[in-house]
Amino acid sequence: MTTTAHGRFTSLLLDLATHEAEVTRVEEVGAGLRLVSIAGDGLRAAAWEPGDVVQVIVVGEALLGPWEIRSYTPLALDPATGTAQILWHVHGNGPGSDWAASAVEGTPCRVVGPRRGVRLPASHGALVLFGDETSFSTAVAVHRARDARVVLEVESVEESRAVLGGWFGLVDVVLVAREPGDAHLAEVERAVLAAQGGGVDVAPVLTGKASSVQRLHRALRGAGVQGRRISGVPYWAPGKKGLKGR
Ligand SMILES: Cc1cc2nc3c(=O)[nH]c(=O)nc-3n(C[C@H](O)[C@H](O)[C@H](O)COP(=O)(O)OP(=O)(O)OC[C@H]3O[C@@H](n4cnc5c(N)ncnc54)[C@H](O)[C@@H]3O)c2cc1C
């Protein structure tokens, strides 16, 4: 198969694997944070659990390539209307961020999923969720459904508190401000271990920046938490594009 034919074949498969959707609402909820509602028939009657992701084609027409696809975690998905609400971190460094920055009511898109994002323990026991601004949507979804202790590394504690509390009622959350050289991760580590509280039934779910996920994974293992109990899903890593989470 020639490269062009291969590209067309891949695009055809992509077209078959995705469904049409449309932006129905965009709200600026804080600096670099947009709440984007996407509706489509393919999201109707979808089996969705908090923490599951949808993927959005943020560059390209499915049949014409080239294209780029990015992963996002709805904070809610209403199967009756086929509407997913995603809290989008507009960081300004990639096409996914650009797509959300320019999305308006009526913007068409193609989506895949939902599919499993983070692995939540099957039991209804407590869990510790770690992440950053890319995890706000996950945090809201999981906190609404489960006994979740949330620890987040953020650019601004005040602005994050205003968004999470003011818009989503998520007030019971530990926010730690980033410092140069990741000096703040010592405090994050203490907060996650304190939230874990030595509880064997408390399941850690680590999301956000890959290097922070790795460091907390090591810290939890060092504190005696079994590796198989830890769900670690890097959402992004400097210099890498389009992480999928598995
Ligand atoms: C399972 C899963 C669920 C996710 N859920 C959400 C969600 O609900 N909301 C959300 O906002 N994001 C979420 N993300 C993260 C999002 O998919 C990534 O941030 C993705 O890289 C964004 O694509 P992009 O095109 O903007 O940047 P890319 O083209 O992927 O990357 C371009 C450059 O931007 C950098 N970059 C990517 N993310 C950031 C960031 N946060 N801060 C600074 N630089 C960055 C990359 O390191 C790279 O250098 C999720 C990721 C995964 C894997």
Task: Check pocket membership of 236 for ligand 1, CB cut-off 6 A.
Answer: yes
Expressed in angstroms and rounded, the spacing between residue 1 Cα and the centre of ligand 1 is: 33
> CB–CB of 153/208 below 8 Å?
yes
Question: What is the atom index within ligand 1 of the atom nearest the CA of 92?
Answer: 26
pLDDT at 202: 87
CA pair distance 201, 125, nearest whole angstrom:
6
Mention every residue, 6+ apart, whose C-beta is less than 8 A from residue 108.
20, 21, 22, 23
Mutate to test the pocket of ligand 1, among 97, 153, 168, 231 (most ligand atoms within 8 A of CB): 97
Expressed in angstroms and rounded, the spacing between residue 231 Cα and the centre of ligand 1 is: 18
Task: Check pocket membership of 243 for ligand 1, CB cut-off 6 A.
Answer: yes
> CB–CB of 73/137 below 8 Å?
yes
pLDDT at 10 over 90: no
Measured in Å, how far apart are the chain's first and last C-alpha atoms?
Answer: 28
> CB–CB of 42/54 below 8 Å?
no
pLDDT at 11 over 70: no
Question: What is the atom index within ligand 1 of the atom nearest the CA of 90?
Answer: 11
Ligand 1 atom 28: residue of nearest CA = 241
The DSSP bridge partners found for residue 56 are 70, 111
pLDDT over 70 percentage in the chain = 89
pLDDT at 4: 60
Task: Check pocket membership of 241 for ligand 1, CB cut-off 6 A.
Answer: yes
pLDDT at 12: 66
Q: How many CB atoms lie within 10 A of CB 67?
A: 20
CA pair distance 104, 22, nearest whole angstrom:
9
For residues 168-176, give the mean pLDDT.
96
Task: Check pocket membership of 73 for ligand 1, CB cut-off 6 A.
Answer: yes
| Residue found under tokens 């895949």 | 112
Question: What is the atom index within ligand 1 of the atom nearest the CA of 70?
Answer: 17
For residues 46-55, give the mean pLDDT.
92
Question: pLDDT, tens digit, for every residue of 123-134?
Answer: 778 899 999 999
Mention every residue, 6+ apart, whose C-beta is less than 8 A from residue 214.
232, 234
Question: What is the atom index within ligand 1 of the atom nearest the CA of 137?
Answer: 8
Ligand 1 atom 32: residue of nearest CA = 94
For residues 161-170, give the mean pLDDT.
97
Ligand 1 atom 15: residue of nearest CA = 235
Expressed in angstroms and rounded, the spacing between residue 205 Cα and the centre of ligand 1 is: 18
What b-and-e string marks burial along 186-203, b requiring 16 or more CB atoms within 10 Å of the CB? Answer: eebbebbbebbeeeeebb
pLDDT at 114: 92
Query: Confidence band (pLDDT; 50, 70, 90) for 118?
Result: confident
For residues 140-161, give the mean pLDDT.
96
pLDDT at 2 over 90: no
Q: What's phi and psi for 144, nearest 5 deg?
A: -70, -30
| Residue found under tokens 């809610």 | 76
